[in-house]
Amino acid sequence: MNGKQLKNSILQWAIQGKLVPQDPNDEPASVLLERIRTEKAKLVKEKKIKKDKNESIIYRGEDNSYYEKFLATGEVKCIDEEIPFEIPKGWEWCRFSAIYRLLTDGTHKTPKYTESGVPFISVKDMSSGKLSFSNTKCISEEEHKILSARCCPEYGDLLISKVGTTGIPLIIDTDKEFSIFVSLALIKFFPNYIDSKFLIHLINSPLIQEQVKRDTRGVGNKNWILTAISNTLLAIPPLVEQKRIVSKIEEIMPIADKYEKSQEILDRLNAEIFDKLKKSVLQEAIQGKLVPQIVNEGTARELLEQIKTEKEKLVKDGKFKKSALSDSVIYKGDDNKYYEQVGKEIKEITEEILFDLPDKWQWCRIGTIFMHNNGKQLNKGNTKGKLMKYVTTSNLYWDGFVLDNLKEMSFKENEIERCMAVKGDLLVCEGGDIGRSCIWNYDFPIMLQNHIHKLRPYIPVCTKFFYYIFNLYNLTGLIGGKGIGIQGFSSKALHNTLVPLPPLKEQHRIVAQIEKLFEQLR
């Protein structure tokens, strides 16, 4: 259980009547709610508030079912499906509307802002249960008076966020005048019968927050409408018990806070330890120190010769240009320095070499092992070709792909093969989290957007080994950071990325050992 879960459990116990003992001498909540109804009737008679047409009483029938009676019409309906748990004797279920005299929200129109004047508060000015006036916009005194005729926040009133992140409560603790925007709901409740601190805990409890989540509507700018707020189901204890609950919560929440901080530290340490161990495993792996070398498994140089032979065949068949044969050869000279030969040109690259390799391994460029290209750039104006689903960097993660709601774009016939990934292709992000990679292991093909590189080996290799190389380069900042200095992953940068190449069978043994160790680390 993490800190947030512990706090939620405390609030859940509180609003189920399990946090403090009940006292049979406490005046029951039914009397409390009746007094609120009497006060509301008086205010209606004095024309200070409007009559609630949906005013109701929730009670338990002789058949042990829960019923809601609407006072205006006398209609009664069973609400057993709404009741989430049993409450103690002396408590009552009611709608939110039963405990307030006014529910409204801020102005729906954007006011004319002024350099100084009356603060104009929106949901962004609510933080950790307090109002912040440090970066608020202002409106004129005249406009404030107009807005206050409908919505006048005062000391002790309740504000609740109703747009965006909904269901955040706050009791106004200032006499300072201000107006509010539509993103906030204003509730004037009866503090003589409902303890303000208890009300905050009640709204923050899973009972209310689950209703908020269920009843919040819309996509993007989500809205918890006033009707839904008024219809929210509450569990109300006697007033004296409300205060006992608040005292107990205030006593134990600091302990929960300490637990939460300790848990966060522990989680962070565990994550850091895992990352360090993961990094160490991968570092050992690509240096040839994770598994022993076996003499009869051949050499990386032999593998490179096979790749060269395959490229020559592809050039001869007209599938590749002759420039594909201009690969480099990297070797260690008699002076212990590293050199790279491209054609007749030889240059020293010792500073690029990250570490020495076992004798049977070889440094090479990624473009020597893999043919690679980007997908297609999105152009909404280009509708020629076949409409096909594609993935972009937002779909690609280290541990897999998110394929929900894939978008489509048009691909011409001559673009399909180049921009299509098939099972076994290694896909690498060009931007964002540079070098983030994953192998496409699905039985169906997928199209690619231009911010993804597709890597396909010239001859069979253990692609997962190179996936782990990209993983390590990302973890150590070698991609998108310092080190070998790849700040962005253009095709040229990808092509020239240095990687260690072991013999093929050793690649597979290394991957098997990596995955065995990772499983143990989890």
User: In the prediction, which pLDDT does 484 show?
Assistant: 46
pLDDT band at 483 (very low <50, low <70, confident <90, very high): very low
pLDDT of 186 above 60: yes
380-390 pLDDT tens trace: 777 789 999 99
Confidence category of residue 505, pLDDT binned at 50, 70, 90: very high
C-alpha to C-alpha distance for 226 and 184, rounded to whole angstroms: 10
Bridge partners of 131, per DSSP, are 126
Strand order in the sheet with 426-429: 370-374, 452-457, 426-429, 437-439
Predicted local distance difference test score (pLDDT) of residue 138: 95
Q: CATH top-level class for 3-258? A: alpha beta
Model pLDDT, residue 488: 61
Written as six digits, the tokens of 435 are 């070098």
**Pick from 170, 151, 147: nearest CA to 160:** 170
Q: How far, rounded to the nearest angstrom, does the alpha carbon of residue 370 sit from its chain's CA centroid?
A: 34
Q: How far is CA 138 from CA 47, 124, 126, 182, 498, in A?
A: 32, 14, 16, 15, 58
**Per-residue pLDDT band at 321 (split at 50, 70, 90):** confident
**Under DSSP, is residue 459 helix (H, G, I), strand (E, B) or coil?**
coil
Determine the topology of domain 295-521 in CATH: Adenine-n6-DNA-methyltransferase TaqI; Chain A, domain 2 (3.90.220)
For the stretch 100-128, pLDDT in tens is 999 999 999 999 999 999 999 999 998 77
| CATH 3.90.220.20 intervals, the chain | 3-258, 295-521
The answer to whether residue 507 scores a pLDDT higher than 50 is yes
DSSP SS3 for 441: coil
User: What is the rounded average pLDDT for all residues in the chain?
Assistant: 92
Encode pLDDT of 372-430 as tens digits: 999 999 887 777 899 999 999 999 999 899 998 899 999 999 999 999 999 999 999 98
